[in-house]
Chains A and B, each alone.
Chain A
Amino acid sequence: MLSRTIIDHLQQRVGAGNVYHEREDLLVYGYDATPEIAGLPEVAVFPENREGLQAALEVSRQEGLAVTPRGAATGLSGGSIPFQGGMVLGLTRMNRILEIDEENLTATAEAGVITVDLFNAAAARGLFYPPDPGSQNVSTLGGNVAENAGGLRGLKYGVTRNYVMALSGLLYDGTEFIAGNKCVKDVAGYSLRDLLVGSEGTLGIITEVTVRLINPPQDKRTLLAYFRDIRTAGEAVSRIIAARIIPATLEIMDKTTINCVEDYAGIGLPREMGALLLIEVDGHPAVVADEAEGVRKILEKVRADVIRQAANAEEAAQLTAARRTALSAVARVSPTTILEDATIPRSRLAETFAEIERLKEKYAIHVATFGHAGDGNLHPTAVTDERNHQEIEKVHAFFSDLYEKVLSMGGTVSGEHGIGIAKKGYLLRQFGEGGMGVMRRIKDAFDPGGRLNPGKIFLEGASSPDVRIQGGVHD
Chain B
Amino acid sequence: MTETSPTGNFHPDDAPAYESILQCMRCGFCLAVCPTYALTNRERSSPRGRAALARAVAEGKLEFTPAVRDEAFLCLDCKACSTACPSGVRVGTIMEFCRSQAQIFHPPSLPAGMLRDFILKRMLPSPALMETSMLPARLYQRLGLQWAVRRLGINRFLPGVLDKMEGILPTLGPPLRTEIPQFIPAQGKKRGRVAFFLGCAMSLVFPDVSRWTARILSQQGFDVVTPKEVKCCGAPHLAEGDRETARRLALINIDLFLALNADYIVTDCAGCGCALKEYEEILEDRADHERLRLFRSKIRDISEFLAEVGIRTEELRPVPLSVTYHEPCHLVHGQGLSGPPRQVIRAIPGVELREMKESNWCCGMAGSFAIKELETSRRILERKLANVRATGADALVTANPGCHLQLAWGVRELGMKQPVLHVVELLGRSLPA
Contact = CB atoms under 8 A, between A and B. Distances in A.
Contacts of A73: 26, 28, 43
Contacts of B31: 72, 138
Contact of B61 (A27, A46, A92): A27
Interface stretch (A18-26, A61-69, A205-213): A18-26
Given A25-B43, A331-B23, A388-B1, A72 B28 contact: yes
B29 A388 contact: no
Contact of A137 (B2, B29, B49): B29
B3 A387 contact: yes
A264 interface: yes
A137 B84 CA distance: 11
A170 interface: no
A27 B48 CA distance: 12
A28 B87 contact: no
B22 to A, nearest CB: 4
Given A138-B32, A264-B86, A328 B27 contact: yes
A29 interface: yes
Nearest to A40: B61
Contacts of A261: 86
Given A25-B44, A328-B85, A335-B22, A135 B67 contact: no
Given A31-B26, A72-B31, A264-B86, A24 B41 contact: no
A24 B1 contact: no
Interface string B41-54: 11110001100110
A325 B88 CA distance: 12
Contact of B53 (A28, A32, A46, A139): A28
Contact of A327 (B27, B32, B48, B67): B27
Nearest to A29: B43
Interface residues of A, number: 38
A329 interface: yes
A387 B26 contact: no
Given A24-B62, A329-B87, A74 B27 contact: yes
B25 interface: yes
Nearest to A95: B41
B28 A388 contact: no
B65 interface: yes
B86 A332 contact: yes
A466 interface: no
Given A24-B68, A25-B43, A33 B25 contact: yes
17 contacts: A20-B42, A24-B44, A24-B53, A24-B62, A24-B71, A27-B52, A27-B56, A31-B26, A73-B26, A93-B41, A138-B29, A139-B28, A327-B27, A328-B29, A328-B87, A329-B87, A332-B88
Given A24-B44, A73-B28, 13 more contacts: A24-B67, A27-B52, A27-B53, A27-B62, A92-B41, A93-B41, A138-B28, A264-B88, A327-B27, A328-B27, A328-B29, A331-B23, A385-B2
Closest 8 pairs (CB-CB, A-B): A328-B86, A325-B86, A331-B25, A329-B86, A24-B67, A331-B87, A28-B49, A28-B43
